[in-house]
Amino acid sequence: MALPQKFLFVLCLVGLVFSQDMPYEEFLAQIQACPSECSCPQNFPRAVYCDNRGLKSIPRIPPYTWYLYMQNNMIETLPLDAVQNATQLRWVNLNRNKITDKGIEEDFLSAMTHLAHLYMDDNLLSSVPSPLPDSLEHLRLSRNRISKIPAGVFVGLEKLNLLDLQGNKLMDDAVTEVSLKGLNNLVQINLAKNQLSRMPLGLPPTTTQLYLDGNNIEKIPADYFKGLPKVAFLRLNHNKLGSSGVPKDVFNISSILDLQLSHNQMTEIPIIPSGLEHLHLDHNKITSVNGSNMCPVSVDSLDSAQNESVPRLQFLRLDGNEINPPIPRDVVMCFRLLRSIVI
């Protein structure tokens, strides 16, 4: 019995090596095609690691690669032949390179017909690259020099749910219905640290997380969120919003959970919807807090209230304003689920 057991043990080890459902011939082809500049772990044969190697060009990627790590190099160009055989790529990380618009060969990105995650943060792009593969789910392009979103670049990208464009040079006329057309399943969009002076147009009704921190936004149109019935996380920290540009009831949205308005010029507290859980209003110009005005329901009716009508606010920041303590008693009476308040 000793020999077959040993044999079984060896088989188990081999089984571990091929745990990614990879036929042996493919495994061999994959390992043999590993570029000398990169490393291709045998126990994770679908991954190819070429990160942090000072590479100036992208090597030929082995044919069965799913996960490609190319971040932290000095890559300037993306020639099509590098990925011509790697038709199964799912996940490509090209963060922190020197890629320009011109450096991307026409069909380099669209050739990756299974690509779900594309990361190109910290490069030298001045436009959202196009054409993109229809399979894309997450697209990260933060901290480039992007000032342009070509019209229709997202058309057909029915799976794209996360778009990160923070830290670019987008102005109002770049973010429009025409440029965002096709983002039918977008959930999160990050436009923080751009040069927007108004709320972006053309966002799809699926938008749940909208990040606009660090722009120059001065006002919000009264009906802006009518077209965004799912907005739950809204960040507008570090803008130029004053109470005159913010209709008092503009944030009274039933879907909203987290509202961040730190470092603006608000003088009044906007209407707080019942369902809101986190509110950041620190570092504004608010001078007074009136609990009965702030409360989404009447404080009297709360005494006998059922739990579902109790406002959901748990976290409130009001520090960096011109409010004198103590916290009015009716604030605490109203927001019974409040766990933390900073004044």
Ligand X SMILES: *[C@@H]1O[C@H](CO)[C@@H](O)[C@H](O)[C@H]1NC(C)=O
Q: Is 292 in the site for ligand X (CB under 6 A)?
A: yes
Q: Is 290 in the site for ligand X (CB under 6 A)?
A: yes
Pairing of strands 188-190, 117-119: unpaired
Spatial separation of the C-alpha atoms in residues 264 and 81, rounded to whole Å:
50
Q: Is 307 in the site for ligand X (CB under 6 A)?
A: yes
Q: Is 85 in the site for ligand X (CB under 6 A)?
A: yes
For 135, phi then psi, to 5°, come to -80, -5
Site string for ligand X, 41-70 (x = CB under 6 A): -------------------x----------
Closer by beta carbon to ligand X, 81 or else 173? 81
Q: Is 254 in the site for ligand X (CB under 6 A)?
A: yes
Q: Is 300 in the site for ligand X (CB under 6 A)?
A: no
Binding ligand X (rule: CB under 6 A), the pick from 250, 271, 323, 327 is 271
Spatial separation of the C-alpha atoms in residues 186 and 188, rounded to whole Å:
6
Spatial separation of the C-alpha atoms in residues 120 and 139, rounded to whole Å:
8
Stretch binding ligand X (CB under 6 A), from 80-88, 95-103, 113-121, 176-184: 80-88
Stretch binding ligand X (CB under 6 A), from 3-11, 79-87, 185-193, 202-210: 79-87
Stretch binding ligand X (CB under 6 A), from 66-74, 152-160, 195-203, 288-296: 288-296
Q: Is 293 in the site for ligand X (CB under 6 A)?
A: yes
Closer by beta carbon to ligand X, 15 or else 326? 326
Q: Is 314 in the site for ligand X (CB under 6 A)?
A: no
Question: Closest Cα partner for 220 from 210, 230, 209?
Answer: 210
Beta bridge partner(s), residue 340: 315
Spatial separation of the C-alpha atoms in residues 181 and 336, rounded to whole Å:
43
Spatial separation of the C-alpha atoms in residues 308 and 113, rounded to whole Å:
47
Q: What is the 3-state secondary structure (H, E, C) of 240-308?
A: CCEHHHCCCCCCCCCCCCEEECCCCECCCCCCCCCCCCEEECCCCCCCCCCHHHHCCCCHHHHCCCCHH
Binding ligand X (rule: CB under 6 A), the pick from 32, 306, 324, 340 is 306
Q: Is 252 in the site for ligand X (CB under 6 A)?
A: yes
How many residues contact ligand X, by CB under 6 A? 14
Spatial separation of the C-alpha atoms in residues 53 and 47, rounded to whole Å:
16
Whether the bond into 131 is cis, omega within 30 of 0: yes
Closer by beta carbon to ligand X, 81 or else 300? 81
Closer by beta carbon to ligand X, 5 or else 307? 307
Per-residue exposure over 38-59, b if at least 16 CB sit within 10 Å of its own CB, e if not: bebeeeebbbbbbbeeebeebb
Shortest reach from residue 24's CB to ligand X, in Å:
16
Shortest reach from residue 249's CB to ligand X, in Å:
5
Closer by beta carbon to ligand X, 180 or else 256? 256
Binding ligand X (rule: CB under 6 A), the pick from 37, 106, 173, 249 is 249
Spatial separation of the C-alpha atoms in residues 69 and 243, rounded to whole Å:
47
Shortest reach from residue 131's CB to ligand X, in Å:
20
Question: Residue 214 corresponds to which amino acid?
Answer: G
Closer by beta carbon to ligand X, 181 or else 230? 230
- Residues forming contacts to ligand X in the complex (CB under 6 A) are 60, 81, 84-85, 249, 252, 254, 271, 273, 290, 292-293, 306-307
